Amino acid sequence: MKIIRRIAILLVMFLSASDYAVLYGQVVRPRLLLSAADVRLMRESLGRYAWFDKAYGEAKEAVDRACASPIDVPKPVDAGGYAHERHKQNYREMQSAGILYQVTKDERYARFIRDMLLQYADLYPTLGKHPMAASDEYGRLFWQTLNETVWMVHAAQAYDCIYDWLTIADRGTIESKLLRPMARFLTIEHAATVDRIHNHGTWMVAAVGMLGYALNDTNLVDIALYGTKKDKKAGFLRQMELLFSPDGYYAEGAYYVRYAIQPFIILAQAIENNQPELKVFEFRNQILKKAIVAELQLTDANGRFIPINDALKEMSVLSQETILALDVAFLRYGDRGGWLAMAQKQGKVSLDASGLAVARALQNQGTPTTFASRSVEYIDGPLGDEGGIGILRSGPPDDQSMLVMKYGAQGFGHGHFDKLGFLYYDRGREIVQDYGAVRFVNVEPKFGGRYLPETESWSKQTIAHNTVTVDGTSHYGGVYRVAQEHHADRHFFSAANPAIQVMSGKIDGAYRGVSMQRTMAMICDSALPKPVILDLFRIDSKQKHQYDLPLYYMGQFIHTNVAYRAFDSARTRLGLSNGYQHLWKEAEGRAAGSVAFTWLQGDRYYSMISAADTSTFVMFTRIGAGDPNFNLRSEPGIVLRRNAASTVFATVLEPHGYFEPVNEISLKATGRVKEINVLVSTAEATVVEINGTGSLHWLFAVVNGEASTEASHSITVGGKTISWKGNYSLWKH
C-alpha cells in the first residue's frame, strides 16, 4: 500500500491536469484548434522562434489592450458600422485571449473571456431578428447568419480554452443563455443553411461542429459532420466532396476560396484533434491539400486572387484566412513546393501549433524554395466534368505574363455570366481586367459594406466581361437558376511547350442556337520582347445575331486606326439593360481592315489588333453610366460589334515598347503586328494569318472538332493544303 501511495504521489507530481482527465475519462481541453500537447509545445517554444514570437507578441499586445479597456457588447444595429465591427473585434479578442490563457495560465485572460461571454449571455436572449436583416439568412448579433457562425467559430474556441477554469455556475449561465440558444438558432432556425452546399454552409457546420466539441455534444458534432438528418447527404464531409473539383478547384472561384477554406481548415483541425480516426486530412485524396495548392496558384504575381466572380481585387494571400490555411497545410502535409516561401511572403504565422511549425521551419531552414506559379488548368465541378479554368504563364515571377480563361460552371450565387471570359496580366498588373464585384467591403456609407446593387446590374452581366454577348442579353438570359445547371466545356489545354501554350473552351447552351469556342494562345518569339496573346473567338449559328466582344483594357488610350466619331459634348449609354445601361459610349466608328488600338499601362505599351472589315463596328466605352450613387469605377473599354450568323473574332494582344517619364524615354509606341486575317473557319478547324513589320508572318491553326493530340488534320486555305498533327499548329515564315 505504501508503494501504491508513493506511486500515486509521483503521479500527482508529474501528471498534468489533462493527464488526469484522460485517466478519469474526462474531456481533455483545450480540444478545438489547440490540443493540450500543442499548448505545452507553444509554451516551451516562446523565445525560440522569431516568427512565432511575433505572432504571440502581437496577440498579447492586442489582448492586453482589450483586457485593460471596458468590455463593450453593443446592441446589434448596423450591417457594417460600429456595432458590427465591435462584435467582430470581440470574437477575435476572445479567441486570442483563450490561446493566451492556455499558454500563460494568466487568469486575466480567462476573466476577460468569462466577463464578455456573460455579457453576451445577458444580451442574446433579448435579441430577435437583426434590424438590418436583408434575407432569410438573417442573424441576431449580425445582419446575416454568416457573421453569426464566424462569431461562434471563435467564441467556441475561447469557451473551450477556459472551460476548466470556469465555475459550474458560470458555465451554466453561458451555456443556457447563450451557447445552447445559439445552437438551436443555428441548427433549427437555420437548418437549411446547415445542409447547404455553399460557403455559408461550411461556416455553419464549422460553427456547429466547434460548438459541439466545446460542449462535448455528440449530437451537434454529428450534425456538423453529416447534416441535420445525419444521413451524410449534407454536412462537412459532403461539402468536401461537392464544393471542390477532384483537383481542388473551389466552386466559387479564387477569391471565395480564401474565405471558404477557413472553416474547412478550422473544423478539420478540430476533427483531427478529437476524431483522428476520420482521417479528415486524407479525405478524398487529400482534397484540402489540393484546395490550398489551387488557391495559391489562382493568384497574380502580387499574390492577389484572380478576381473572377464577386471578387474584391485587393484580396490576397496576405489575408489572415490564407495564413491559417497555409500554416495548417504545412503542419499536416509538409512543404509541398514553395509553401514556406509563401509563408515568408505572408510575413506572419498563426498563433497555434501550425504557425509554430512554420516558424520553426523558417528559422531552421535557409532561404526557402520560391513558390512556383505555373501554367495550370483546374477542372470544375465535383466530378471534374464541368469545364474548368485555364491559366497560362510565361516568364519569371517579376516579369510574368499571365492569361486566365474561364470555361467552367457558374459557381453558385456569386458566379458571373462570363463563360469564355478572360483576364490578362503583365508583371502583376492588370492589362485586361475583370471588374470583380461592386462592393466596398465594410464601408458603412456604401450600403453597410455589403454587395451593391450594381454587382447584379453590372458586374455579373456578360457585357461586363471580356467575352461575347449575343443580342444584348447575358448568358442563360442572366438567370442564375438556369446558369447554375449548365457549364462550359474544356476543349484542350496544352502548356507543355513554353514557346506556345494554348487553351481552348466551348459553350453551347449560353444562347439558343449559338455555339461558341474560344482558343487563346500565349506565344513566345525570340524576335519579340514579350509573349503575345492570340485570341480566336469562333461563333457558330444558323441565325444572324448581334455579337459584342469587349476588351476592358487598363491604361491610357494612345492610338487607334479606327476613324471614329467622338461623343465628347453629350454622352449617352450603350443600352438600357443587361449591364449595357452602365456603359457610356465615348466614341464609335467602323473598321476598315484590321482594328488596331494601342494603350499605355505603366511603362509598357499594349496593342490589340483584331481581324475586321467594314462589317465590324467599334465602340469606345467607359464604365459608370446608370450609377446614381457613384459606386462604379470609371474605367475604359473597347467593344467590337458584328452582326453575323457565324463569325470569328481573331485578335492579337501585343506588349511592346517602353515608357519612362522621369528620363522622358518612349520607345516603340507602335507594335509590330499589323494585321490578322481569318483564312478559314470550318467545323474542323480555324486558320488565321498574322502579319507584321520585320518579316513577321505567322499562320496558326486550331482544331474545332474533337480534341486529340494524336489526330492529323489537313485543310485547304486559298487553294493550298496545310497539314498538322494535334490540336493546333503555328507556322512562322
Question: Catalytic site residues?
Answer: 256, 414
- The distance of closest approach from Cβ of residue 65 to its own copies in the complex, given in angstroms and rounded to an integer, is 15
CA 21 to centroid of chain Cα atoms = 42
Query: Interaction with its own copies in 475-494: which residues (CB under 8 A)?
Result: none
Closest-CA residue to 321 (of 237, 270, 265): 265
- The distance of closest approach from Cβ of residue 320 to its own copies in the complex, given in angstroms and rounded to an integer, is 6
444 lies in the binding site for its own copies (CB under 8 A): yes
Q: Find the length of the chain.
A: 733
- Which of 426, 588, 627, 654 binds its own copies (CB under 8 A)? It is 627
- The distance of closest approach from Cβ of residue 455 to its own copies in the complex, given in angstroms and rounded to an integer, is 16
Nearer of residues 318 and 341 to its own copies, judged by Cβ: 318
- Which of 9, 10, 17, 441 binds its own copies (CB under 8 A)? It is 441
- Which of 302, 442, 577, 691 binds its own copies (CB under 8 A)? It is 442
> What is 592-648 written as a DSSP string?
SSSEEEEEEETTEEEEEEE---TTEEEEEEEE-TT-TT--S---EEEEEEEEESSEE
719 lies in the binding site for its own copies (CB under 8 A): no
CA–CA gap between residue 421 and residue 419 (Å, rounded): 5
- The distance of closest approach from Cβ of residue 563 to its own copies in the complex, given in angstroms and rounded to an integer, is 12
Query: Interaction with its own copies in 308-367: which residues (CB under 8 A)?
Result: 312, 314-316, 318-320
CA 651 to centroid of chain Cα atoms = 28
CB distance 272 to 32 below 8 Å: no
- Which of 212, 381, 390, 636 binds its own copies (CB under 8 A)? It is 636
CA–CA gap between residue 373 and residue 709 (Å, rounded): 25
Closest-CA residue to 205 (of 257, 115, 270, 255): 270
Three-state SS at 284: helix
Residues 6+ apart with CB under 8 A from 174: 114, 117, 118, 121, 159, 166
Rg (CA), the chain: 29
Query: Interaction with its own copies in 175-194: which residues (CB under 8 A)?
Result: none
69 lies in the binding site for its own copies (CB under 8 A): no
CB distance 47 to 60 below 8 Å: no
Label the pairing between strands 665-667 and 556-560. Answer: unpaired
571 lies in the binding site for its own copies (CB under 8 A): yes
- Which of 119, 622, 678, 684 binds its own copies (CB under 8 A)? It is 622
- Which of 606, 659, 724, 728 binds its own copies (CB under 8 A)? It is 659
CA–CA gap between residue 495 and residue 574 (Å, rounded): 38
- Which of 126, 367, 572, 712 binds its own copies (CB under 8 A)? It is 572
Distances (CA, A) of 254 to 127, 161, 307: 36, 33, 7
568 lies in the binding site for its own copies (CB under 8 A): yes
- Which of 443, 527, 592, 711 binds its own copies (CB under 8 A)? It is 443
- Which of 149, 455, 598, 621 binds its own copies (CB under 8 A)? It is 598
- The distance of closest approach from Cβ of residue 656 to its own copies in the complex, given in angstroms and rounded to an integer, is 12
Nearer of residues 53 and 85 to its own copies, judged by Cβ: 85
The site for its own copies, by CB under 8 A, has a size of 55
Query: Interaction with its own copies in 104-143: which residues (CB under 8 A)?
Result: none
Closest-CA residue to 201 (of 225, 174, 178): 225
- The distance of closest approach from Cβ of residue 569 to its own copies in the complex, given in angstroms and rounded to an integer, is 6
List residues near its own copies by CB under 8 A: 80, 85, 312, 314-316, 318-320, 440-446, 449, 556-559, 566, 568-573, 581, 584, 586-587, 598, 600, 620, 622, 625-630, 633-634, 636, 659, 661-667, 669-670
